């Protein structure tokens, strides 16, 4: 026989067997086992060692798409490749061909053929089986590469969709804050620092989440280590979680981060009447809330307790205690009108803390001021004291005048205010002359009348009026009796007048409460002192009578005063 012919026949037989076994069985076996191995690699459940545990400071589980998805994809590709290699080298070439067919054994069962012809036949089909294995591995690898490419595109699209959701969530939060003018700042002394994101506490375990926003820990929600799902955006409900300052770790009111904050410091010398005026403003805002669409509530239980303590001091003694401590904690109120709200920070610092440049520089809250409440005690001005006669001098001394005159007080802080915030020229100032009940009794001075700035200039404080008009974007003036506006015998007209400076400053931030200042003039109890800068005061004698009535009522009131509530 022709050896060449034999070789050709064997080659053709080998090729036919190889193609037949490859297309009929081998290729599909390779693909099935490789895809099964790849799918099993994706099913990584704890305590699978392939899951890389996050050990960073954030008590949340990283999002699947941000890390584990890529590792699982790599594990799947590796598992498929190893399966193909194992099937080719170990199973088909090693076990089936070399150890079984070439030894005359059945390729499936491994049993030895019964006769020599059967063993010869098995040895003849061994090369075709090896070729089938090679072809199956090659074709399976090509097809698996296509599947892997398609799958990689899908994974990439998932990652891009997640990143788009992250960008959309962050953009929505930023646009919301930008549109509402929300700037988050700590209200506590020793901090006062701004922050882009508060620390949010998990309601399940109390863990502190410092990165609760769309990101690597989740686009729409974060999963705490305790298993609790937390919303990662304001629109998704993050505002409902307890929050803390990321710098000083003290609790923040729920409105921080969802409501525009308005910072208003009360500036005045020691004993100028800042704390009394603060109490009168609180009562005045509550009075306005009963007669208009204005809404007022305390931002936290601590603010409610502080306001109640202040009210009890007034009801027991008729005076507030001197402000103590270094930097003040802001008293926080939620003030709303219609659909708009403001989180109002009211700062009542010690008079000594604003006496010179060094101490003023330490009042960090001034850098965030949206307006200034300048508490003016004209009885402390040297030019006013020199104008008083004997009887009036005693009355003025009994009113506990401030340690510094208003001009000196203003000069002590105005330069540092510009240095801290750099916005003095864009800020409004509400100048509030206090102790009107005493000023009404002085015969040596003209009684307070509108316009107040003209009256101030008439008693020798024209320098202060000029400075305020020059240094600030807008200035308005009021004369208030805090004694007549606080306590059980307070007059509604005095209460509302005391709140007008705050309402005017809030109106400058876009809260539509400016109309309340004008509406008050039409009410029966309100015309005794018209709005600043307009009209003429023709009710000064009536104001004095109101002040006397308030003093009599205060002398006869009960030892305990009314409790404030968080929903006036």
Query: What DSSP string runs through 471-519?
Result: HSSEEEEEE--HHHHSSTT--HHHHHHHHHHHHHHHHTTT-S-HHHHHH
pLDDT above 60 for 389: yes
Percent of the chain at pLDDT > 70 equals: 84
pLDDT above 80 for 562: no
Q: Kindly report which listed range (29-38, 42-51, 460-469, 517-526) carries the lowest average pLDDT score.
A: 517-526
CA distance 406 to 412: 10
User: In 10 A of CB 281, how many CB atoms?
Assistant: 29
CA distance 107 to 85: 19
Q: Are 501 and 476 a contacting pair, CB within 8 Å?
A: yes
What is the phi/psi pair of residue 198, to 5°?
A: -80, 165
Beta strands in 412-535 (DSSP E): 428-433, 474-479
> Residues 424-471: pLDDT tens digits?
568 899 999 999 989 999 989 999 988 999 999 999 999 999 999 988
* Confidence category of residue 368, pLDDT binned at 50, 70, 90: confident
Q: What is residue 19's DSSP assignment?
A: H
168: left (phi over 0), alpha (psi -120 to 50) or beta: alpha
Secondary structure, 3-state, 313-326: HHHHHCCCCCCCCC
| Residues pairing with 218 in the sheet | 215
Round the CA-based radius of gyration of the chain to a whole number and report it: 41
Q: Which of 568, 564, 489 is nearest to 309 (CA)?
A: 564
* SS3 state of residue 74: helix
Kindly give the residue spans of alpha helices, DSSP state H, lying in 87-198.
116-180
**pTM of the predicted model over 0.85:** no
CA distance 303 to 169: 32
């Amino acid at each position: 026989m022709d050896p060449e012919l034999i070789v050709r026949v064997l080659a053709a037989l080998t090729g036919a067997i190889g193609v037949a076994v490859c297309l009929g069985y081998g290729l599909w076996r390779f693909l099935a086992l490789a895809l099964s191995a790849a799918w099993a690699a994706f099913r990584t459940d704890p305590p699978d060692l392939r899951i890389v545990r996050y050990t960073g400071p954030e008590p949340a589980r990283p999002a699947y798409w941000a890390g584990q998805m890529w590792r699982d994809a790599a594990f799947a590709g590796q598992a498929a490749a190893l399966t193909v290699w194992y099937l080719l080298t170990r199973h088909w070439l090693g076990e089936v061909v070399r150890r079984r067919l070439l030894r005359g054994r059945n390729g499936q069962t491994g049993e030895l053929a019964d006769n020599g012809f059967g063993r010869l036949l098995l040895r003849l089909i061994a090369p075709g089986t090896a070729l089938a294995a090679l072809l199956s591995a090659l074709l399976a690898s090509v097809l698996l590469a296509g599947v892997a490419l398609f799958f990689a595109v899908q994974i990439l699209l998932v990652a891009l969709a997640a990143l788009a959701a992250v960008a959309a969530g962050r953009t929505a939060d930023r646009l919301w804050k930008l549109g509402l003018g929300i700037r988050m700042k700590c209200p506590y002394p020793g901090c006062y620092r701004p922050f882009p994101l508060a620390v949010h506490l998990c309601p399940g375990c109390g863990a502190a989440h410092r990165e609760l926003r769309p990101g690597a820990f989740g686009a729409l929600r974060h999963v705490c280590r305790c298993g609790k799902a937390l919303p990662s955006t304001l629109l998704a409900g993050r505002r409902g979680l307890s929050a803390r300052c990321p710098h000083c770790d003290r609790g923040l009111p729920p409105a921080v981060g969802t409501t525009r904050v308005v910072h208003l410091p009360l500036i005045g010398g020691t004993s100028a009447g800042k704390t009394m005026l603060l109490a009168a403003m609180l009562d005045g805002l509550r009075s306005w809330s009963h007669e208009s669409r204005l809404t007022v509530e305390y931002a936290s239980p601590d603010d409610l307790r502080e306001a109640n303590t202040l009210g009890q001091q007034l009801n027991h003694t008729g005076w507030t205690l001197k402000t103590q401590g270094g930097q003040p904690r802001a008293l926080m109120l939620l003030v709303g009108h219609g659909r708009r709200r403001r989180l109002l920070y009211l700062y009542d610092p010690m008079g000594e803390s604003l006496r010179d440049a060094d101490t003023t520089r330490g009042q960090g809250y001034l850098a965030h001021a949206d307006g200034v409440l300048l508490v003016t005690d004209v009885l402390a001005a040297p030019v006013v004291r020199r104008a008083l006669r004997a009887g009036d001098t005693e009355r003025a001394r009994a009113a506990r005048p401030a340690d510094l005159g208003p001009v000196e007080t203003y000069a002590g802080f105005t330069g540092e205010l510009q240095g801290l915030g750099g916005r003095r020229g864009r800020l409004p100032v509400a100048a509030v002359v206090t102790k009107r009940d005493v000023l009404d009794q002085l015969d040596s001075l003209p009684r307070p009348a509108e316009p107040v700035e003209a009256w101030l200039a008439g008693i020798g404080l024209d320098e202060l009026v000029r400075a305020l008009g020059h240094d600030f974007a807008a200035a308005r003036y009021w004369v208030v009796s805090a004694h007549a506006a606080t306590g059980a015998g307070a007059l509604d007209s005095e209460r509302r007048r005391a709140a007008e400076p705050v309402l005017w400053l809030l109106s400058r931030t876009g809260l539509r409460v400016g109309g309340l200042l004008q509406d008050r003039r039409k009410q029966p109890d309100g015309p005794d002192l018209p709005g600043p800068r307009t009209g003429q005061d023709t009710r000064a004698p009536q104001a004095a009578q109101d002040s006397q009535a308030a003093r009599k009522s205060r002398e006869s009131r009960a030892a305990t005063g009314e409790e404030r509530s968080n929903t006036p």
